[in-house]
């Protein structure tokens, strides 16, 4: 088994290398030379950036600059999101993608309308549970976690194009142009990308694939910092999408080549799977917490449901009495996480295939019932916490970016390949790394996925089905006006990372960058372990948690990579806060 992906370990076992101020100038200068971005402020990693007109906070500087180019030239927040998304496919190959999928949440300032585009991957039509079982019916997780059978039907191209058509103001060719230019002309490999490629397990995977190693390697070793990464095949398909729309990707010669290449490796993806794929518009989930209005991701994301469930449980809790990140506050948060994840395992799946009791799960009354079993001074063992009994019979790698303009239009986008660099498979001539998202289906209670999550029949494998996700793009309004935009990568940790940054800002009143920087925790019911980041939680707080009965483990890496944006309704100024756990940037104007 390969080591877990970067998203499973947080943002990596070590902090990613930072671009120095001089290097950042070179990055922006290169884009300026390409005509890709007008002058704009861009933050060092983990540094907030303010502007009067707009902000893009993304996990990679060149992609943030591509989005800012669009905002400065008069595009709206959705236009900027589409440009950023396609650029990430070029500059952030470990997670940005056209070979994966994700979710886009948009809130329109003019009327407060909120819209959600689901472009999660789907299972190929020839899939069946037996593909991932031995002759005795026992699950074989390794077959669903990696290799050609792990590849789901990509959704990113369909989703970004649908968002541009429905909610954007610019034609698709203008939005894809920065990404196509970066792929065609190339860019210098950043310290973060060089370090990512050089990780032993990453290069071990990519080097075994002729298509991937030819793009991301040179002379049998991964590309080094400063070397030029050119992706001519990716540039060609991006140019074709710009000219002909998603049809260029999902039908015709490109789709045939992609499908036949996967089948040659032993996979089951067919051209018919690609032709049948559709991005879906869904109703975002809506919640309230202490006077704030919240919009977040509906199923097939579990993240939004869990986020609202945890907020409902914590609404009446005394989180501030012991102080920020006190043992009392962490204990209460962990108990809410424990109960929400227990329900995740039982009830959540693709709403087009199973009846998910969303309304009941996010009902504050249900949360109050769940909260009755919480003790202020004692952790409840996960073995004693099952799915809630009040449900009626109705039954890494990932990246996130947040965009705000001064008019209050907001977009939150989370996309994923699952593992860092996905399946590690790049079919020659296509230019795109393919996902390994089939792992997000459940093979049963005794077969946890890469993130240790188990599940039941609701998230079982079926042809055309969307696998359950933890992605939690979220927008928050105060007194009717957009206030916060946030989300994170991090696998199963995502909803908990979003929860903590939200509470840091909304309850503990930390400034946005401090809210993002603050140390984090994670509990997901099973395994029954309370994870803490390696720095920032004092020994006496850990001792207080252990006295309450928590099994505390300090992880060897960072959790999540929350990229957040905030609008001050009074002044109209925008603020972007990138997470210092990653190499992201805020670009503000």
Cite the active site residues: 398
- Give the residue ranges of DSSP H helices in 220-302: 232-244, 247-250, 253-264, 271-276
* Count of other CB atoms within 10 angstroms of residue 519: 17
The dihedral region occupied by 35, where left means phi > 0, alpha psi between -120 and 50, and beta the remainder, is left
Q: Which two tokens stand for residue 351?
A: 């709403």
Closest by Cα among 242, 200, 251, 306 to 86: 242
User: To 5 degrees, how large is the angle CA 483–CA 485–CA 490?
Assistant: 150
* Count of CB atoms situated within 10 Å of the CB of 371: 18
Give the span between the Cα atoms of 58 and 586, in whole angstroms.
7
CB 106 within 8 A of CB 402: no
Helix, strand or coil, per DSSP, at residue 344? helix
Residue 265, Cβ neighbours under 10 Å: how many?
15
Residue from 575, 535, 526 nearest 14 by CA: 535
How many CB atoms lie under 10 A from the CB of residue 32?
15
Inter-residue contact 8 to 558 (CB < 8 Å)? no
Q: Name, in order, each residue with C-beta under 8 angstroms of 236's C-beta and a sequence gap of 6 or more.
A: 431
Q: What values do phi and psi take at 473, rounded to 5?
A: -65, 135
CA angle 178, 181, 185 (to 5 degrees): 145
Q: Are 44 and 19 within 8 A, CB to CB?
A: yes
DSSP 524-555: -SSS--EEE-SSSS-HHHHHHHHHTT--EEE-
Residue listed under structure tokens 């699950």: 139
Place of tokens 């991301």: 216
Q: How far is CA 44 from CA 27, 41, 400, in A?
A: 12, 10, 18
Do 58 and 583 meet the contact criterion of CB atoms below 8 Å apart? no
């Amino acid at each position: 088994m390969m080591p877990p992906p970067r998203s499973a370990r947080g943002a990596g076992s070590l902090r990613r290398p930072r671009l120095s101020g001089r290097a950042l100038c070179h990055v922006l200068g290169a884009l300026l030379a390409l005509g890709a971005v007008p002058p704009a402020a861009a933050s060092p990693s983990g540094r907030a950036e303010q502007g009067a007109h707009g902000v893009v906070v993304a996990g990679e500087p060149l992609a943030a600059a591509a989005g800012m180019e669009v905002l400065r030239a008069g595009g709206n927040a959705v236009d900027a999101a589409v440009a950023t998304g396609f650029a990430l496919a070029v500059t952030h190959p470990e997670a940005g993608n056209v070979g994966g999928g994700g979710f886009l949440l948009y809130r329109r300032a003019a009327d407060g309308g909120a819209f959600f585009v689901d472009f999660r991957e789907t299972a190929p039509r020839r899939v069946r549970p037996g593909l991932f079982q031995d002759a005795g019916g026992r699950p074989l997780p390794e077959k669903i976690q990696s290799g050609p059978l792990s590849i789901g039907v990509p959704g990113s191209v369909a989703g970004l194009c649908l968002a541009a058509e429905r909610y954007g103001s610019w034609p698709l060719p203008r939005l894809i142009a920065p990404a196509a230019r970066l792929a065609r002309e190339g860019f210098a490999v950043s310290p973060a990308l060089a370090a990512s490629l050089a990780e032993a397990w990453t290069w071990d995977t990519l080097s075994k694939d002729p298509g991937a190693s030819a793009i991301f390697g040179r002379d049998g070793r991964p590309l080094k910092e400063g070397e030029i990464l050119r992706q001519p095949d990716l540039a060609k398909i991006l140019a074709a999408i710009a000219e002909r729309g998603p049809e260029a990707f999902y039908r015709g010669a490109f789709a045939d080549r992609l499908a036949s290449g996967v089948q040659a490796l032993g996979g089951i993806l067919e051209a018919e799977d690609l032709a049948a794929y559709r991005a879906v518009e869904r109703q975002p989930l809506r919640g309230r917490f202490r006077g704030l209005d919240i919009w977040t991701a509906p199923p097939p994301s579990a993240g939004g449901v869990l986020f609202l469930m945890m907020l409902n449980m914590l609404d009446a809790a005394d989180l501030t009495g012991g102080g920020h990140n006190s043992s009392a506050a962490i204990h209460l948060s962990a108990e809410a996480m424990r109960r929400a994840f227990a329900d995740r395992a039982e009830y959540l799946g693709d709403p087009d295939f199973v009846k998910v009791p969303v309304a009941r799960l996010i009902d504050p009354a249900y949360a109050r019932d769940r909260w009755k079993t919480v003790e202020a001074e004692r952790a409840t063992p996960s073995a004693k916490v099952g799915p809630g009994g009040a449900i009626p019979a109705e039954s890494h790698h990932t990246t996130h970016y947040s965009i705000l303009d001064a008019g209050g239009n907001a977009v939150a986008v989370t996309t994923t390949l699952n593992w860092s660099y996905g399946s590690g498979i790049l079919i020659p001539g296509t230019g795109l790394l393919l996902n390994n998202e089939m792992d997000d289906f459940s093979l049963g209670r005794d077969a946890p996925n890469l993130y240790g999550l188990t599940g039941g029949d609701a998230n079982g494998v079926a042809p055309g089905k969307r696998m359950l996700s933890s992605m939690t793009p979220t927008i928050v309004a105060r007194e009717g006006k957009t206030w916060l935009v946030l989300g994170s990568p991090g696998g199963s940790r995502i909803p908990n990372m979003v929860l903590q940054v939200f509470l840091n800002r909304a309850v503990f009143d930390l400034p946005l960058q401090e809210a993002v920087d603050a140390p984090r925790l994670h509990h997901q019911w099973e395994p029954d372990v309370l994870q803490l980041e390696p720095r920032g939680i004092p020994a006496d707080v850990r001792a207080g948690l252990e006295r309450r009965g928590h099994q505390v483990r300090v992880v060897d890496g960072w959790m999540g990579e929350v990229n957040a944006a905030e609008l001050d309704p009074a002044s109209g100024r925008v603020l972007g806060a990138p997470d210092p756990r990653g190499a992201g940037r805020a670009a503000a104007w």
